[in-house]
């Protein structure tokens, strides 16, 4: 019997090695897998490359991972926020590498990894600092920049519901990067609010099919930290 449920965030992340590339779901706090990140901090892996839209807020979640100096490099679209002090401090000290990627290009590069696309031409960032040194091409009447996929070892995702095959639904704008990141990692680890019996998710409403999901941990909303 296929059963992708695992007992705890700690068990789900026990094998993360130093130097791993990890996609972390979430746009700000919406979709951020806080308990999985806590487990990653506790697990101790270092020299990580992290992919997230942002670079953490305040002192929890991704910000705590960065603050604990576990992150060698981050790929994101919007690191600078009022409360991104952990990232700001390490960035100014030269202790964390930043690859700034336009948000749509970030999403598309993650999708490309999941969908087996080797590279793609996007119009975004053409003629800007963020395309410096990159291959460009005029196709039709638009100019494009060549961008490459972002493959990862792990994806850490927060979804709403999951069944034991790994079919997922999300909640409102907490969907954001989740379905893309789930496709792009060798091992996709998901925390969900609720686990359900097979068949409780209508096959028309599955957002991430189980083929993309490897490990699922239930984190009931009642256990959630006061954010």
Q: What residues make contact with other proteins under the rule CB under 8 A?
A: 1-2, 27-31, 77-81, 87-88, 91-92, 98, 100-108, 110-111, 113-117, 122-130, 163-165, 167, 170-180, 183, 198-199, 203-204, 206-207, 209-212, 227
Question: Residue 62, SS3?
Answer: helix
The answer to whether 159 and 168 have CB atoms below 8 angstroms apart is yes
Considering the rule CB under 8 A, would residue 103 count as an interface residue with a second copy? no
State yes or no: residue 121 binds a second copy (CB under 8 A). Answer: yes
Q: What's 53's DSSP letter? A: S
Q: Does 134 bind a second copy (CB under 8 A)?
A: no
Residue 177 binds: one of a second copy, other proteins, none (C-beta under 5 to 8 A by kind)? other proteins
- Residue 140 makes contact with a second copy by CB under 8 A: yes
Rounded Cα distance between 205 and 94, Å, is: 45
The nearest distance, CB 172 to other proteins, in angstroms, is 4
Smallest gap from residue 188 Cβ to a second copy (A): 21
CA angle 73, 160, 162 (to 5 degrees): 100
Q: Which is nearer to a second copy, 116 or 133 (CB)?
A: 116
Sequence-ordered list of residues with C-beta below 8 angstroms from that of 79, at least 6 positions apart, any chain: 54, 55, 87, 91, 98, 100
* 144 in contact with a second copy (CB under 8 A): yes
Q: Which residues does residue 192 pair with via DSSP β-bridges, in sequence order?
A: 159, 218
CA 2/CA 205 separation, integer angstroms: 21
Residues 6+ apart with CB under 8 A from 182: 114, 155, 157, 168, 188, 190, 208, 212, 213
Retrieve residue 23's tokens.
Answer: 């996609």
Please state, in angstroms and rounded to a whole number, the distance separating the CA atoms of residues 95 and 104.
27
String marking each residue 191-210 x if it binds a second copy according to CB under 8 A: ------------xxx-x---
- In the complex, what is the shortest distance from the CB of residue 43 to other proteins, in angstroms, rounded to a whole number? 25
Total length of the chain: 227
Determine the distance from the C-alpha atom of residue 45 to the mean position of all C-alpha atoms in its chain, rounded to a whole number. 17
| Shortest distance (Å) from residue 33 CB to other proteins | 13
For a second copy, which is the closer residue by CB, 44 or 127? 127
The stretch near a second copy (CB under 8 A) out of 1-9, 81-89, 94-102, 140-148 is 140-148
Is the Cβ of residue 172 or residue 222 nearer to other proteins in the bound state? Answer: 172
């Amino acid at each position: 019997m296929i059963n992708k449920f695992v007992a705890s965030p700690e068990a789900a992340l026990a094998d993360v090695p130093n130097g791993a590339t990890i996609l972390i779901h979430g746009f700000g706090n919406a979709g951020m897998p806080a308990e999985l990140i806590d487990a990653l901090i506790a697990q101790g892996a270092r020299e990580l490359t992290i992919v997230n839209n942002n670079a953490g807020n305040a002192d929890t979640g991704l910000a705590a991972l960065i603050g604990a100096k576990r992150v060698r490099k981050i790929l994101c679209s919007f690191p600078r926020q009022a409360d991104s002090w952990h990232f700001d401090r390490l960035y100014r000290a030269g202790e964390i590498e930043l690859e700034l990627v336009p948000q749509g290009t970030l999403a598309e590069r993650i999708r490309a990894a999941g969908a087996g696309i080797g590279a793609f031409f996007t119009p975004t960032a053409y003629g800007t600092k963020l395309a410096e040194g990159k291959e460009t091409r005029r196709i039709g009447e638009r100019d494009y920049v060549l961008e490459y996929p972002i493959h990862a070892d792990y994806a850490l995702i927060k979804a709403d519901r999951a069944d034991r095959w790994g079919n997922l639904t999300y909640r409102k704008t907490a969907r954001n990067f989740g379905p893309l990141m789930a496709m792009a990692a060798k091992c996709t680890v998901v925390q969900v609010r609720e686990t359900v019996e097979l068949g409780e998710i209508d096959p028309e409403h599955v957002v991430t099919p189980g083929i993309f999901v490897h490990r699922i941990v239930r984190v009931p909303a009642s256990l959630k930290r006061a954010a």
